[in-house]
Structure 1
């Protein structure tokens, strides 16, 4: 007969092994995200193009992604506090780089000026829009140069919550131009009444071509490890396509 303590030790060892295996099979990464359709969004299939990419990359590494959709400022602050390991998706700024590690680019955005078809619009440099009244989103950045023009009041901006509200400002001629990422603008414009869609177009030349990144919190203990895993998986995914 085997000693009782030996049998109990074997049982404990088996239980510990099973627990560790269960942990390995249930690796979950919590990511804070903002609504940015069609790139990423809570109601989109696979959480959108970028959401799908993020999930596929981490799945290659054996992780499951759990998105938490929050207002942009809250997603930023909670990730900065270390509550989430990363937040999706953001353009690069030096100020943010002081708080976060940036992944390799996961998408590219093209920002254009939407305008009324009855108000022809041409531009070559951003200085051409000086004096214009813009529509814009709360908390949005439009790139260093246009942000600087807004700060210096070379242009004015009426910020509202939501892309469709900004389009309404444009439709009712309360603003001259609406700077927005082309795919996002068209996504929301397509959901508006036909009469609104028929009034609005955009200038084809982007004023900003911008990469989007997953930002990893410098205050999260696993950020460095998961950043490296993500970049490796992203490179593999891009090679496969």
Structure 2
């Protein structure tokens, strides 16, 4: 009996010894990733934690300014980065595996009661639009933006975009759907804005793995776990935990 106990203790420690810690760069983008007094939380944080945890590993999240996060993943100072949008240039320094971690719907929001309708970037063309600076809103929006076919006001955070919309400085606020809705709900402003139409685009965002970090070796396995979580409804469940209080 004593020998059996010793063996079980040995196996437990051996299993723990095999567990690795992986460093993942993220940005503060509620409800996907946010740092609380109790530690990191959010939809993305929960998904990534669980995917690695299913393989017996641990994750340490680094909340970084986005340019630094990209630099760190290039250098292998972190093992992965999320949410990351795939491009040919980025495949030079990170690996992307299907499926995407999350699909982010992109919407134009209007002040509640407004009659403005915009479900495409083309339909937003006549109006003054706010967006958070440096936020990717898809290739079509980027084209209109770069060619100055949209009148764009830039703000430094989502709540600022909601407020300039509410005070009438702009007619529309363009944002990833859940980010704007979550910010409005948390600020008690959920009745003050509403979607101006259907999503004008969506972005596939990934957990990408540094080609220079140890994350590359496990990237495909982690992505397979994410695929299972999509298939069995686990990711939808994790999302509902954060979004159930929202009234949109």
Task: Give the TM-score band, short-chain normalised.
Answer: 0.7 to 0.9
Tell me if structure 2 keeps the 8 A contact 1:103–1:230: no
Residue-by-residue CA offset, 1:194-216 (whole Å, 9 max, x unaligned): xx543321124001122221121
Unmatched 5+ stretches in structure 2: 1-9, 234-248
Give the whole-Å Cα distance in 2 for the aligned partners of 1:122 and 1:215.
36
Unmatched 5+ stretches in structure 1: 1-16
- The Cα RMSD (Å) is 2.5
1:68-217 alignment runs, 5 A limit: 68-104=62-98, 105-123=100-118, 125-193=120-188, 196-217=189-210
- Larger mean CA deviation between 22-31 and 208-217 belongs to 22-31
Shift of 1:22: 8.3
Larger Rg: 1
Shift of 1:45: 8.0
Tell me if structure 1 keeps the 8 A contact 2:159–2:183: yes
Give the whole-Å Cα distance in 2 for the aligned partners of 1:205 and 1:135.
18
Shift of 1:27: 1.2
Q: 1:129 to 1:229 in 2, by over 3 A?
A: same
Is 1:41 aligned to 2:22, yes or no? Answer: no
Normalised to the residue count of structure 1, the TM-score between the two structures is 0.81
1:30 equivalent in structure 2:
23
Shift of 1:30: 0.6
Q: 1:181 to 1:102 in 2, by over 3 A?
A: same
Q: Specify which of 206, 210, 217 is matched with residue 225 of structure 1.
A: 217
2:61 equivalent in structure 1:
67
Give the whole-Å Cα distance in 2 for the aligned partners of 1:205 and 1:124.
5
- Larger mean CA deviation between 63-72 and 123-132 belongs to 123-132
Count of paired positions: 221
Give the whole-Å Cα distance in 2 for the aligned partners of 1:73 and 1:99.
14
Tell me if structure 2 keeps the 8 A contact 1:30–1:68: yes
Q: 1:125 to 1:68 in 2, by over 3 A?
A: closer
Give the whole-Å Cα distance in 2 for the aligned partners of 1:115 and 1:181.
14
Shift of 1:112: 0.8
* SS of residue in 2 equivalent to 1:190: helix
Give the whole-Å Cα distance in 1 for the aligned partners of 2:190 and 2:224.
42
- Larger mean CA deviation between 40-49 and 109-118 belongs to 40-49
Normalised to the residue count of structure 2, the TM-score between the two structures is 0.79
